[in-house]
Structure 1
C-alpha cells in the first residue's frame, strides 16, 4: 500500500479522540492519514477534531449534520477516501477499544488479501475488561451469523478492518442498506459473496475507559432481524437453484431416453 486512510466515526468522544489520534499518528507511517467523521457531537468532539486537524496535516475532519448511524458514517468516510485517491481504507473505533498500533499489521495483510479483519475470536485474539454478558452476546452473535449466512469468519461483527480501495468498489457500497452495527456483517458478507480474499488476524480488544458505549438493545434487535432475513433469503435462493438443477437434469435424462 502506498497510502491509507483510517476512518474514525465519532459521537460524543471528546475524551477519547485526542488520545486515539495521538496514538494512531505515532504508530503509523506518514502515508497513513486519519479522517474523523463526526455526527455533530453535542459534547464538542467535532471542534476538538478540527483543532487536531489544524495541528497535523495527516488528520482530516468530515462533519455531518446529525447522528445518522455507524454505517452511514463509514460510507461517508469511504467515499471521501476514494475521492481523494487512497489505496486502502481502515475502519477503527474512536473509543480506544481498537489499538491503533495494530493498523500497520492490518495494512500489511493487504499485500495478499482484499480485506483484513481484526478478529477477537481467532487464536491469539482476546477481549479485555468485558463483562460475561457482553462476551456471550458477541460470541453468540458471531456464531449465529456464521450459521445463518454460511460463512467461515469468526468475528464477522468486528469493526477493526482494512480494505483495498478497489475491493470496496467491487462490493457496491451504494447498495448497502445497513446503517447500525449490522453494517459490519453486511460488508463482510458482501466481500465474501464477491469472491474477495478475506483474512482474519488476531487483535486485543479493550473495553473503553472514557465515555459511554453506543451499543443498545435496538442495535442487537436490528442485527438479529437482518441476519435472519439474509439467512432465509440465502436458503430460499439455494433451494430454488437446486430445484432448477434437478429439473434440467431430469430434462436431459428424458431427452437421452427418447434418443435411445
Structure 2
C-alpha cells in the first residue's frame, strides 16, 4: 500500500523525530512510503485568523502536492481536519472543488489510518510506564475521531494508561489563540497540567504536537517531571530501542 507522508509544520521544523517514528511504524506494517517535497503548510493558521484568500494559495499547493497519492497520512488530527474543510472552502470552484474532495477522502490521521484503513490495533509496541492521554480539540471535534488512539494504546505492552480528568477540555494552545489571548490560554494550560499531574502518570501522550509542546512547556516550567510523547513515538518504542541496540523497555 502506497502512503504519502504529510509531515505538518511543527513536526517538520521542531520535532522531526515524530515524523521518523511514524514512517518506521508504517513501513513495518507493510506500507510503501513517499514524501512529496512540494508540500508546505495546510493553511490552517492563516485560515483560522480570517485570511481566506491568502490561505487558499497554501491549500492549492497541498492539493497539487498530493494529487497523485493513494493515501495521505499525517501525525496531527488538527492538520488532517483542515484537509476535510477544503471541499467547503472550494465549493463551486470548477477548477479546485473536485481536487478538494479528493484530498479529503484520502487523508487520514496516523492512528486513524492504522486502525480504520489497515485494520490493525496491535503494532507490537512496548513501553513500560504509566501514561495518560490528552485528546486534542480538532481531532475530537472536527475530525470526529475519539477511538483509534485508545485502541492502539490498549495494546502497548507494559503501558498502564490512566484516565485524564476533564479530558475534553482544551489545553489552551489553539494555534494563534495562545498568542492572541495569552492570559486565558495560560489559565487553560494550568488547568490541564493540574489534571495531568493528578493522574500520577510519568508520560503524557497525544496525537498533536501543538498540544504536547504547549502542555509540556508549562509542565517543565512548573518543575513537573512528566515526559511528553507523540503517539507515533509510543507505537515505535520497542522497535526504536532495538534499532539503537538498547533494551526493549
Please, what TM-score do these two structures have when normalized by structure 1? 0.29
Which one has more relative contact order, counting CA pairs under 8 Å at least 6 apart?
A: 1
Pick the structure with greater CA Rg. 1
